[in-house]
């Protein structure tokens, strides 16, 4: 018997037009890029604290919508409150994710704070930069958005190193972070833990130890660990992404010939 497949025409048309939306967003991005580069970057630095404060206000609105009172422009999506939505005349406009804007605002504010200072050879002088970093980190973590939070500390350490901070001081802070990491891990939600453990479990050695040691498996995935189940669930996208990157060798399969582009899902 032949196999018949059916699809919703409207859904198929929507998917077929996604590339047009991406072109529009790309064009807007290029225009913004050109406009920003026409302005002297020092002007952005002069207002960097105001931009930083404005982004903190947006992050605060997200938390109000999540924990205090439901706001119509702060919808819940997949159990998180990360976006601010706009509607004009009944039509939905593109949503804004303040944590993404925060990445730029944070770098601007931190760079402006570090620009002329020369006291970062002292351990006590690191309080200011860490305060600038931890405040948005806490707000973003409460959304919750662990991925963005994990990016901010490496940015801070890189900028402090360039600004002249002693490597010894930075290593001490890293050591303190490692010491309190079990406490942070304890307070994380299971889905946040699994995002981190999925990366660690790419190592066959760690997978083997997790299978042999039930306690370690429970710490990493919140229950009994099985390599087979991990490959079919938490590790599926990591494994398939590697296949997608490596498939076709150095030359690739050619335009629109790859094995992972035909089924409307990410590897």
Query: In this predicted model, what pLDDT tens digit does every residue of 69-89 receive, in sequence order?
Result: 888 888 888 778 898 888 877
Distance, in Å, from the CA atom of 151 to the CA atom of 149, rounded to the nearest integer, reads 5
Q: Do 120 and 212 reside in the same domain of the chain?
A: no
Q: Do 198 and 208 reside in the same domain of the chain?
A: yes
Closest to 245 in 3D by CA, of 234, 260, 264, 265: 260
Q: Does residue 10 fall inside a structural domain?
A: no
Q: Which residues contact 124 (CB under 8 A, 6 or more apart)?
A: none
Q: Does residue 183 fall inside a structural domain?
A: yes
Domain span including residue 235: 189-247
Residues of the chain with pLDDT > 90, as a percent, come to 21
pLDDT of residue 155: 92
Q: Do 52 and 169 reside in the same domain of the chain?
A: yes
Residue 258 is encoded by which pair of tokens? 């790859």
Q: Do 177 and 128 reside in the same domain of the chain?
A: yes
For residue 95, pLDDT over 50 is answered with yes
Q: Do 50 and 158 reside in the same domain of the chain?
A: yes
> What is the pLDDT confidence band of residue 94, given thresholds at 50, 70 and 90?
confident
For residue 5, pLDDT over 60 is answered with no
Distance, in Å, from the CA atom of 206 to the CA atom of 211, rounded to the nearest integer, reads 9
Q: Model-level pTM?
A: 0.75
> What is the pLDDT confidence band of residue 105, given thresholds at 50, 70 and 90?
very high
Judged by DSSP in three states, 162 sits in: helix
Q: Does residue 116 fall inside a structural domain?
A: yes
Report the 10 Å Cβ neighbour count for 51. 19
Q: Do 32 and 146 reside in the same domain of the chain?
A: yes
**Number of domains forming the structure of the chain:** 2
Q: Which of 187, 204, 236 is the last residue of a domain?
A: 187
Q: Which of 171, 187, 203 is the last residue of a domain?
A: 187
Q: Do 30 and 134 reside in the same domain of the chain?
A: yes
Q: Which of 143, 162, 187 is the last residue of a domain?
A: 187
pLDDT in tens, 51-71: 999 999 999 999 999 898 888
Tell me which of 149 and 256 has the higher pLDDT.
149
Q: Do 35 and 159 reside in the same domain of the chain?
A: yes
Residue 25 is encoded by which pair of tokens? 């967003």
Distance, in Å, from the CA atom of 89 to the CA atom of 87, rounded to the nearest integer, reads 7
Q: Do 43 and 100 reside in the same domain of the chain?
A: yes
Q: Does residue 148 fall inside a structural domain?
A: yes
Q: Do 159 and 65 reside in the same domain of the chain?
A: yes
Q: Does residue 14 fall inside a structural domain?
A: no
pLDDT of residue 1: 43
Q: Does residue 263 fall inside a structural domain?
A: no
pLDDT of residue 6: 47
């Amino acid at each position: 018997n032949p196999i018949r497949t059916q699809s919703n025409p409207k859904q198929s048309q929507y998917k077929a037009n996604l590339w047009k939306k991406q072109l529009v967003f790309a064009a807007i991005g290029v225009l913004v890029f050109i406009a920003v580069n026409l302005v002297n970057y020092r002007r952005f630095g002069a207002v960097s604290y105001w931009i930083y404060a404005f982004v903190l206000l947006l992050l605060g609105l997200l938390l109000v919508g999540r924990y205090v009172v439901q706001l119509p422009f702060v919808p819940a999506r997949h159990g998180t409150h990360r976006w601010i939505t706009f509607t004009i005349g009944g039509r939905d406009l593109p949503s804004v994710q303040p944590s993404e804007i925060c990445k730029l605002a944070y770098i601007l504010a931190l760079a402006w704070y570090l620009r002329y200072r020369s006291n970062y050879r002292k351990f006590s002088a690191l309080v200011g930069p860490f305060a600038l970093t931890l405040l948005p980190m806490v707000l973003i973590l409460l959304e919750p958005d662990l991925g963005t939070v994990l990016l901010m500390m490496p940015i801070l350490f890189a900028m402090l190193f360039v600004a002249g901070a002693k490597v010894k001081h930075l290593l001490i802070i890293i050591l303190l972070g490692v010491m309190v990491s079990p406490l942070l891990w304890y307070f994380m939600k299971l889905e946040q833990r699994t995002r981190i453990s999925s990366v660690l479990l790419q190592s066959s050695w760690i997978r083997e130890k997790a299978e042999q040691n039930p306690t370690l498996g429970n710490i990493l995935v919140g229950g009994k660990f099985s390599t087979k189940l991990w490959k079919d669930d938490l590790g599926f996208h990591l494994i398939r992404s590697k296949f997608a990157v490596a498939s076709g060798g150095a030359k690739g399969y050619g335009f629109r010939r790859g094995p992972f582009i035909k089924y409307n899902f990410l590897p």
